[in-house]
Chain A
Amino acid sequence: MSRAILVNVIRFLILVFMQVFLLKNITFYNLSTPYLYILFILLLPFEVPNILLFVLSFLLGLTIDAFYDTPGLHAAACVVLALVRILFISITVQKDGFDNEPEPTLSIMGFRWFFTYALVLTLFHHFFLLNLEVFSFSEIQYTLSRVVLSSIFTVFLMLISGLLFFRKKERK
């Protein structure tokens, strides 16, 4: 249990640092910008209670907002992401099947499940984030293309980091 907390705190710090000092400066043609920091919410253990999940998402969003100078924007998108995560997991995963609190990582859940999981959640998050930032429907086509291209970039980075920290199948 205490190990899980430690791992997640370190993950939080590393992802926030990467996002604000490295990924913030990366963009392709002003269309594709990665928001890798949401990986923190994706990788929280299955057992995390709903209230804690929402509080953590909210805090993560506010932390990113403090560096991006957009109070509330990332927080709102992250809270949407938390809800989608709860719904997605309740639909696709039977919770009773696990012992010793596994995490939804690539190495435990397998490629197919993790890929759909990451893709769906990222699409929801980016859709809310970018639309909320623009706050008008007049440029919807441009915004949607930004959503799709940014999501591809983000999911790509997620899969790479998943493979980087790949451990041999823990579940038998």
Chain B
Amino acid sequence: MRNLLIFITKYNAFFLFLIFEISSLLIYVKYNSFQKATFINSTNKVTGTLYTQVSQFYGYLSLKEVNDSLARENAQLRGMLKSALYVDTVEKHKVVDTSYKQQYTYIVARVVNNSTNKRSNYITINRGSKEGIAKDMGVICGSGVVGMVVDVSEHLAIVQSVLNKNTRFSAMLANNKEIGSFIWGADLDPKKGLLTDIQNDAQPKLGEQVVTSGYSLFPTGIPFGKISNLHAKGGGLLLNVDVTLAVDFSKLEYVYVVNNKFAQEQTGLEAGQKKNE
């Protein structure tokens, strides 16, 4: 017994190393999957407040760019107004249109923490469950798709961005509606994505837009980016193409969280169908 104690004290560095290394590896393996995240992440009180404060300061540095992009978006929206369209019929009577119902609403949020240079990139935004944000909602910005909400606290939420090895969205070619799935590109480049598994007889063209398909969390037609290379690696029997992302993730400031009003109904219906099988 005494010899054992002497042995342990003599090589105490090694034994201490074992204890701490094993405990940190346990933490790493256990909480690696983000949905089970612990208090050690950026939605907790201390880190959350700090990030919010600092991002408020950073906000001043990019006011000009934000103003420009908002003005551009305003102009685009103005173009969609009824008053901007030329009416070529002379009908005067008013029709109360009941065939349309609002399906998507948007919640604007500010990015308080962001990364683009890791394998799994997440974005923290300053809206949470209090403002009506829930898990699995889509997130977009003025120029395209940003990601999906994976974790919500009272005032903050974490978004798994497109720049994440686990992200996969349903996408299609804008012109011939060919469906594929959209993932992040091969070599961790924050400007590149990959559209995979398109049917071989589809004929994508260079510069063609890749947009959301409407099978996922987003309204149809939100851009992912433009095709930059028709012969990407891999693919096998199906076709893969490289896509230049439309969103500049390093300069993200404001995003919109998409609230699909039919989402709950749809998942409930599909879950019921699965149960019946």
Q: Please say whether chains A and B are actual partners in one complex.
A: yes
Summed over the interface, the residue pairs from A and B with CB atoms below 8 Å come to a total of 89
Interfacial chain A residues near B46, Cβ < 8 Å: 66
Tally of chain B residues near chain A (CB < 8 A): 39
Q: Decide: A76 near B38, CB < 8 A? Known: A30-B188, A66-B44, A142-B187.
A: no
Decide yes or no whether A35 CB sits under 8 A from chain B.
no
Interface size range on A against B: 35 or more
Contact A67 B115 (CB under 8 A): no
A49 to chain B: closest residue by CB: B12
Residues 44-77 of chain A: 1 if any B CB is under 8 Å from the residue's CB, otherwise 0?
0000001100110110011001111111110110
Interfacial chain A residues near B28, Cβ < 8 Å: 70-73, 75-76, 132
Decide yes or no whether A86 CB sits under 8 A from chain B.
yes
Contact B117 A27 (CB under 8 A): yes
Q: Decide: A66 near B41, CB < 8 A? Known: A50-B16, A76-B28.
A: yes
Interfacial chain A residues near B225, Cβ < 8 Å: none
Decide yes or no whether B261 CB sits under 8 A from chain A.
no
Q: B17-25, B87-95, B238-246: which one contacts chain A? A: B17-25
Q: Decide: A134 near B27, CB < 8 A? Known: A71-B41, A82-B17.
A: no
A–B complex contacts, Cβ < 8 Å, 18 sampled: A21-B54, A27-B117, A50-B13, A55-B20, A58-B23, A66-B47, A69-B34, A69-B122, A69-B158, A71-B37, A75-B28, A76-B21, A76-B24, A76-B28, A79-B21, A80-B17, A82-B17, A83-B17
- Contacts A58-B24, A71-B28 supplied; 6 other A-B pairs, CB < 8 Å: A27-B117, A69-B122, A72-B29, A80-B17, A83-B13, A132-B28
